[in-house]
């Protein structure tokens, strides 16, 4: 029989036993750790990847080594609190997440909030976060053994709307974002359009401006008299609208002005210049030179000036403070927008001592884009851009040897000419003057830069009326006034004014002259845009030591010569000219099967036609420029 104290102990034991929820025989087996959340790493990251599991049902088995929670209904329809035996650890969850007995996971998942809302909500149940010590309300929370800076209470924000970014002005943010997206797209489109617009229109290789230019040599006193009063041409005549239009029609890329400097009796003694900077008053003023350069540049034509360096008398004993007059002149004319200089008399004995040192000093006085042309002088080739070589078409030898010899000596840095201000007129030197145009087109096919003396394109003859002037003008008879069209605006001077030099005649007039000018113009344009013609062996794009020029055919009997030019991935360009006395029919089928005619003179009807190279009929003075297979 129990006493009072034993009875009380038995009651307390029974009460304690009755409070335990013993598992029944049909209770589902508790999942293992691996089946529930996997390893510790999975339990720490799983809530971030999937929706939170439903709240623990009453009949769920709780391991003894984990903290148990009891449901506390405080009358709040929205929130059910989980009270941990650990003092102070209180967690909350939405009431609808608590599963009643017999409910299924699929039925509850439809009523649960989304994963992002659960993650943002303060009532999420992270069972893998536990206290560091039992019974210590101030104990530090840990996650997988590492300290976690989380408050013990998850009631910091009662709902999702309490988060700071939910109060942002999202419509305005969307508008600003949309604006920047559209602006970025518009800017990208603008950049693309600009890149397309600034792309090169062709893939031609880079080159110096004089490589593709055709030079036109003008003796200004004989070209055009703008005043129609004194019979002497002037700078305003060179820059007159009629003159500029004519130069453009020929496809000219640069104008070379013979000496324009002050002399005692200009133009008769133009060789005896007295200054390197003072313009002869009969030609105009310094301002006229600036205007000439400006108008030529506006029409894509460069200006080259003859600079008589031989008039400078150098003193070999000059000290270090000596100022070279040529340096001053180069800097002066550079400021007047002159593009290049022909160093007249560089081969003179007065400038030979220390020539290389002087040339280096002169070169430093101008920019690399300025052209230096000089007569043939050995030992300074690297300081000169072009060496002037004049071909003699009547020397009786082979043109092949003359051309090849010059190319081998000067490595294609050549200014070619068949007539210039110091020689007798081309048409007067040729044994068959019908070959004038053929000679010019052949010249324009050579590697280097071609130069045409004014009037050679129409076969201008030297003056024949010098009896009244004695012998004082005999050495200048190759410089007659230019013959213009029969109109008052295009005459050299007023009909009632005698020119300083008696006029000469022209081989080609009217339609024949126009046909010749058209052929030269086409060839000048072809040179300007064809790397086959303006590129040389020493330029980028050609293999080292390779040649882009060859005389493919030459006959000393018939006078027919064929020059071939080519460049990588371009059609070959072949110029065939008959410089003989009579018609010929050369057979060049062993070299070329056929080709397309680009330029034909005088038979212009052949242009654009495809012709065969077997027994090609050519009359005296006829020339064909053809495009053949690559």
User: pLDDT tens-digit profile of 423-447?
Assistant: 889 999 998 888 999 999 999 999 9
Count the Cβ atoms, other than its own, within 10 Å of residue 232: 22
Q: For residue 254, what are the β-bridge partners?
A: 215, 302
pLDDT at 490 exceeding the cut of 80:
no
pLDDT-based confidence at residue 468 (cuts at 50, 70, 90): low
CB 170 within 8 A of CB 164: no
Residues 6+ positions from 223 with CB-CB distance below 8 Å: 233, 237, 238, 243, 454, 481, 482, 492
Of 561, 550, 517, 507, nearest to 393 by C-alpha is 561
Q: Measured in Å, how far apart are the chain's first and last C-alpha atoms?
A: 128
Q: What is the pLDDT of residue 484?
A: 86
Of 588, 556, 558, nearest to 575 by C-alpha is 588
pLDDT-based confidence at residue 469 (cuts at 50, 70, 90): low
Question: How many Cα neighbours within 13 Å face the side chain of 253?
Answer: 23
Structure tokens at 323: 């100022």
Residues 6+ positions from 326 with CB-CB distance below 8 Å: 276, 307, 309, 312, 358, 362
pLDDT-based confidence at residue 492 (cuts at 50, 70, 90): confident
User: pLDDT tens-digit profile of 590-605?
Assistant: 999 899 999 999 999 9
Q: How many angstroms separate the CA atoms of 314 and 451, rounded?
A: 31
Residue with tokens 């003092």: 87
CB 355 within 8 A of CB 377: yes
User: pLDDT tens-digit profile of 270-320?
Assistant: 989 999 999 999 999 999 999 999 999 999 999 999 999 999 888 776 666
* Residue 22 vs residues 10, 59, 157, 449: alpha-carbon distances, Å: 20, 9, 37, 111
**111-125, 382-396, 513-527, 545-559 — most confident range:** 513-527
Please classify residue 281 by burial: count the beta carbons closer than 10 Å to its beta carbon, then call 0-12 exposed, 13-18 middle and 19+ buried. Answer: exposed
Average pLDDT over residues 464-487: 76
Count the Cβ atoms, other than its own, within 10 Å of residue 600: 21
Strands, DSSP E only, in 336-478? 340-344, 371-374, 386-390, 414-417, 449-453
pLDDT at 554 exceeding the cut of 80:
yes
Structure tokens at 460: 């201008």
Average pLDDT over residues 129-149: 52
CB 251 within 8 A of CB 524: yes
Structure tokens at 165: 């970014």
Q: What is the pLDDT of residue 255?
A: 98
Q: How many angstroms separate the CA atoms of 196 and 188, rounded?
A: 12
Structure tokens at 179: 């604006």
Of 550, 597, 578, nearest to 445 by C-alpha is 550
Residue with tokens 């007798």: 424
Residues 6+ positions from 365 with CB-CB distance below 8 Å: 327, 330, 331, 334
Residue with tokens 């002399």: 263
Structure tokens at 413: 């840095």
Structure tokens at 378: 């050995």
Which helix (H) or strand (E) segment is 426 a member of?
helix 426-429
Q: For residue 456, what are the β-bridge partners?
A: none
Q: What is the pLDDT of residue 362?
A: 93
CB 526 within 8 A of CB 625: yes
Q: How many angstroms separate the CA atoms of 158 and 123, rounded?
A: 8
CB 120 within 8 A of CB 110: no
pLDDT at 73 exceeding the cut of 60:
no
Q: How many angstroms separate the CA atoms of 334 and 370, rounded?
A: 9
pLDDT-based confidence at residue 63 (cuts at 50, 70, 90): very low
Q: How many angstroms separate the CA atoms of 496 and 409, rounded?
A: 51
Q: How many angstroms separate the CA atoms of 357 and 354, rounded?
A: 5
* Residue 587 vs residues 298, 532, 555: alpha-carbon distances, Å: 46, 24, 11
Q: How many angstroms separate the CA atoms of 469 and 207, rounded?
A: 48
Q: How many angstroms separate the CA atoms of 189 and 300, rounded?
A: 33
Give the full edge-to-edge strand order of the sheet including 141-143.
129-131, 141-143, 146-147
Q: How many angstroms separate the CA atoms of 386 and 417, rounded?
A: 12
User: pLDDT tens-digit profile of 153-196?
Assistant: 545 555 766 777 777 888 899 999 999 999 999 999 999 999 88
CB 159 within 8 A of CB 167: no
Average pLDDT over residues 249-266: 94
Nearest 5°: CA angle at 101, between 97 and 103? 60
Q: How many angstroms separate the CA atoms of 372 and 363, rounded?
A: 8
Of 285, 259, 283, nearest to 272 by C-alpha is 259
pLDDT at 419 exceeding the cut of 60:
yes
Percentage of residues of the chain with pLDDT beyond 70: 69
Nearest 5°: CA angle at 535, between 534 and 536? 120
**48-62, 68-82, 546-560 — most confident range:** 546-560
Question: How far, rounded to the nearest angstrom, does the alpha carbon of residue 101 sit from its chain's CA centroid?
Answer: 80
Q: How many angstroms separate the CA atoms of 324 and 363, rounded?
A: 12
Of 244, 303, 252, 339, nearest to 525 by C-alpha is 252
Strands, DSSP E only, in 279-324? 302-308
CB 218 within 8 A of CB 454: yes
Strands, DSSP E only, in 491-593? 549-554, 560-565, 572-578
* Residue 363 vs residues 327, 371, 396, 412: alpha-carbon distances, Å: 9, 10, 39, 20
Q: How many angstroms separate the CA atoms of 268 and 402, rounded?
A: 33
Three-class SS string for 386-403? EEEEECCCCCCCCHHHHH
Q: How many angstroms separate the CA atoms of 477 and 493, rounded?
A: 18
Nearest 5°: CA angle at 210, between 208 and 214? 145
């Amino acid at each position: 029989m129990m006493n009072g104290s034993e009875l009380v102990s038995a009651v307390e034991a029974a009460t304690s036993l009755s409070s335990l929820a013993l598992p029944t025989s049909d209770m589902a087996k508790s999942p293992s750790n691996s089946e529930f959340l996997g390893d510790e790493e999975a339990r720490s990251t799983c809530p971030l990847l999937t929706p939170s599991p439903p709240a623990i049902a009453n009949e769920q088995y709780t391991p003894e080594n984990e903290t148990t929670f009891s449901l506390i209904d405080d009358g709040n329809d929205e929130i059910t609190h989980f009270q941990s035996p650990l003092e102070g650890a209180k967690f909350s969850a939405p009431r609808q997440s608590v599963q009643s007995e017999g409910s299924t996971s699929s039925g509850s998942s439809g009523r649960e909030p989304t994963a992002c809302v659960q993650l943002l909500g303060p009532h999420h149940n992270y069972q893998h976060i536990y206290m560091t010590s039992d019974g210590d309300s101030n104990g530090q929370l840990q996650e997988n053994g590492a300290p976690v800076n989380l408050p013990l209470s998850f009631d910091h924000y009662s709902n999702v709307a309490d988060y700071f970014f939910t109060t942002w002005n999202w419509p305005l943010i969307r508008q600003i974002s949309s604006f920047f997206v559209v602006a970025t797209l518009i800017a990208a489109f603008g950049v693309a359009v600009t890149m397309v617009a600034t792309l090169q229109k062709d893939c031609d290789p880079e080159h110096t401006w004089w490589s593709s230019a055709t030079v036109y040599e003008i003796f200004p006193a004989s070209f055009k008299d703008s005043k129609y009063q004194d019979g002497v041409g002037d700078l305003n005549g060179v820059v007159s609208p009629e003159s500029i239009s004519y130069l453009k029609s020929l496809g000219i890329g640069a104008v070379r002005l013979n000496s324009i400097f002050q002399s005692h009796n200009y133009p008769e003694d133009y060789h005896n210049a007295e200054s390197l900077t003072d313009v002869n008053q009969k030609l105009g003023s310094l301002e006229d030179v600036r205007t000439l350069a400006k108008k030529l540049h506006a029409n894509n034509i460069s200006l080259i000036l003859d600079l008589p360096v031989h008039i400078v008398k150098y003193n070999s004993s000059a000290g270090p403070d000596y100022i070279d007059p040529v340096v001053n002149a180069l800097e002066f004319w550079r400021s007047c927008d002159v593009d290049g200089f022909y160093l007249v008399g560089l081969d003179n004995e007065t400038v030979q001592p220390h020539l290389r040192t002087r040339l280096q000093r002169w070169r430093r006085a101008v920019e690399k884009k300025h052209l230096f042309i000089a007569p043939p002088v050995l030992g300074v080739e690297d300081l000169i851009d072009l060496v002037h070589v004049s071909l003699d078409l009547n020397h009786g030898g082979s043109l092949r040897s003359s051309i090849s010899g010059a190319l081998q000596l000067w490595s294609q840095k050549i200014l070619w000419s068949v007539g210039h201000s110091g020689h007798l007129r081309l048409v007067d030197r040729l044994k068959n003057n019908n070959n004038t145009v053929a000679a010019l087109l052949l010249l324009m096919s050579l590697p280097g830069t071609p130069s045409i003396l004014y009037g050679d394109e129409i076969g201008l003859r030297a003056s024949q009326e010098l009896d009244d002037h004695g012998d004082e003008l005999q050495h200048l008879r190759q410089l007659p006034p230019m013959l213009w069209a029969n109109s008052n605006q295009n005459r050299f001077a007023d009909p009632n004014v005698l020119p300083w030099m008696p006029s000469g005649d022209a081989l080609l007039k009217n339609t024949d002259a126009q046909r010749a000018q058209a052929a030269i113009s086409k060839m000048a344009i072809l040179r300007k845009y064809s790397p086959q013609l303006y590129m040389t062996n020493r330029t980028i794009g050609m293999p080292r030591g390779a040649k882009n020029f060859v005389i493919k055919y030459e006959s000393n009997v018939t006078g027919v010569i064929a020059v071939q030019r080519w460049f990588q991935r371009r059609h070959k360009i072949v110029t065939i000219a008959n410089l003989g006395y009579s018609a010929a029919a050369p057979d060049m089928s062993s070299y070329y099967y056929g080709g397309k005619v680009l330029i034909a003179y005088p038979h212009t009807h052949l242009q654009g036609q495809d012709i065969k190279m077997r027994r090609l009929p050519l009359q005296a003075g006829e020339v064909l420029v053809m495009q053949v297979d690559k």
